[in-house]
Amino acid sequence: MPISKITTKHQVTIPQEIFERLKLKVGEHVEMVENKGKIILTPQQIVARAPAANLSDKEQALLPTARKKIRAIQKDLEHSTGLTLEEAEVAAKAGLISWDQRWWWTEEWQEGEREVERNYREGNFKTFDTAEDFFKHLNALKSSSS
């Protein structure tokens, strides 16, 4: 596991192997989020802001709730609530989330994300050395449920 040292200016170097694996480029931006004592870095594409969306009164009323839920998910995925489809569409229209990723923010999807987080925290998961081992495991599960 690569390790980096924090400099006096609070800077951290991304190890070369991770930098290359993620196909990062010098000058790109990363988002930093603290989650349960860990720092999560996520590559970000910064683009010029689109003009403000023209939202209806109903959409304007949904926007604060959508914004609040998005912040809650970003802060504590396991104890948050996902957006309704209407809220996700308004959030995408307002530029708070990506239009093609709005499904991820819905309560239906977030329910699965919370389950994964719980399973991970409780150690209820299995790791595999190879993709072949993973597929053998899936086939065995399929056979046992038939």
The domains found in the chain, sorted by start residue, are 1-46 (2.10.260.10), 57-122 (no CATH)
Which phi and psi angles does 106 have, rounded to 5°? -75, 155
Interatomic CA distance for residues 56 and 53, integer angstroms: 10
Does residue 145 carry a pLDDT above 90?
Answer: no
Express as a percent the part of the chain with pLDDT over 70.
95
pLDDT of residue 51: 64
State the pLDDT at residue 21. 87
- Are 142 and 105 a contacting pair, CB within 8 Å? no
Whole-number pLDDT of residue 22: 86
Q: Which pLDDT score, from 0 to 100, does residue 45 have?
A: 79
Task: Report, as an integer, the average pLDDT of 7-20.
Answer: 91
Judged against a pLDDT cut of 90, whether residue 58 lies above it is answered with: yes
Is the pLDDT score of 91 beyond 80? Answer: yes
| Buried/exposed code over 46-69 (b: 16+ C-beta within 10 A; e: otherwise) | eeeeeeeeeeeeebeebbebbbeb
Distance (Å, whole) CA 82 – CA 60:
18
H/E run at residue 9: none
Give residue 48's pLDDT.
63
